[in-house]
Amino acid sequence: MPNKLASWIAEHEVAEIECIVPDMNGVQRGKVLPAGKFLSSFKEGTLRIPGSVYSVTITGEYPADIGHIVPVYDPDLLMIPDPDTICEAPGLTTRTAYVITDAFIREGEPVAYAPRMILKRVLELYAAKGWQPVIAPEVEFYLVSRNTDPDFPLLPPVGRSGRPETASQPYGLEALNEFEDIIEHIYDHCEKAGLDIDTMIHESGAAQLEVNFLHGNPLRLADEVLLFKRIVRQVALEHEVYATFLAKPMSNQPGSAMHIHQSVLDANGKNIFSMANGRDSALFRNYIGGLVRLLPQISPLFAPNVNSFRRIRPDSDAPVNVQWGTDNRSCGLRVPIANAKNRRIENRLPGADANPYLAIASSLVCGYLGMVERMQPPKSIAGNAYHRARTLPRSLEVALDRMMHCRPVKTLLGDEFFELFFAIKEAELLNYQSVISSWEREHLLLRV
Q: What CATH number should be reported for the domain holding residue 92?
A: 3.10.20.70
Q: Crossing angle of helices 218-238/115-128, nearest 10°? A: 150
Give the pLDDT confidence of 112-165 residue by residue, as tens digits: 999 999 999 999 999 999 999 999 999 999 999 999 999 899 999 999 999 998
87 and 189 part of one domain: no
Buried b (16+ CB within 10 A) or exposed e, 365-391: bbbbbbbeeebebeebbeeebeeeeeb
Give the Cα-Cα-Cα angle 203, 204, 209 (nearest 5 degrees). 25
Would you say 95 and 14 are in contact if contact means Cβ atoms under 8 Å apart? yes
Mean pLDDT by 10 residues, the chain (448 residues): 89 96 98 96 94 97 94 94 96 95 92 98 98 98 95 93 86 89 96 93 94 97 98 97 97 95 97 91 98 98 98 87 96 95 97 98 98 97 94 97 97 98 98 94 95
Give the domain extent around 68. Answer: 2-111
Q: What pLDDT sits at residue 1?
A: 67
| Residue 131 shares a structural domain with residue 173 | yes
Same domain? For 91 and 192 the reply is no
Same domain as 314, residue 175: yes
> Which of 86, 111, 136 is where one domain is finished?
111
Q: pLDDT per residue over 265-320, tens digit each?
A: 999 999 999 998 889 999 999 999 999 999 999 999 999 999 999 999 887 789 99
Are residues 80 and 160 located together in one domain of the fold? no
Residue 428 domain flag? no
* pLDDT confidence of residue 284: 98
Return the pLDDT at 206. 93
C-alpha closest to that of 240 among 142, 144, 141: 144
- CATH code, domain with 379: 3.30.590.10
Domain assignment of residue 226, yes or no: yes
Q: Which of 238, 213, 208, 215 is nearest to 226 (CA)?
A: 213
Residue 175 lies in a domain: yes
Residue 333 lies in a domain: yes
Q: How many helices (H) and strands (E) does the chain have?
A: 13, 15
Structural domain tally of the chain? 2
> Do 143 and 281 sit in the same domain of this protein?
yes
Do 173 and 86 reside in the same domain of the chain? no
Do 148 and 12 share a structural domain?
A: no
Residue 29 belongs to some domain of the structure? yes
76: in domain: yes
Question: What is the model's pLDDT at position 166?
Answer: 81
Q: Of 78, 111, 144, which residue is a domain's last?
A: 111
In this predicted structure, what is the pLDDT of residue 168?
A: 79
Mark which of 111, 138, 161 sits at the end of a domain.
111
- Neighbouring C-alpha atoms within 13 Å toward the C-beta of 125: 20
Co-location of 232 and 350 in the same domain: yes
pLDDT at 316: 73
87 inside domain: yes
Report if residue 211 sits inside a domain.
Answer: yes
Both 253 and 104 in a single domain? no
% of the chain surpassing 70 pLDDT: 100
| Nearest C-alpha neighbor of 418 from the set 302, 307, 301, 308 | 301
| Torsion over CA: 10, 14, 15, 17 (sign) | negative
93 and 139 both lie in a single domain:
no
Residues 65 and 165 in one domain: no
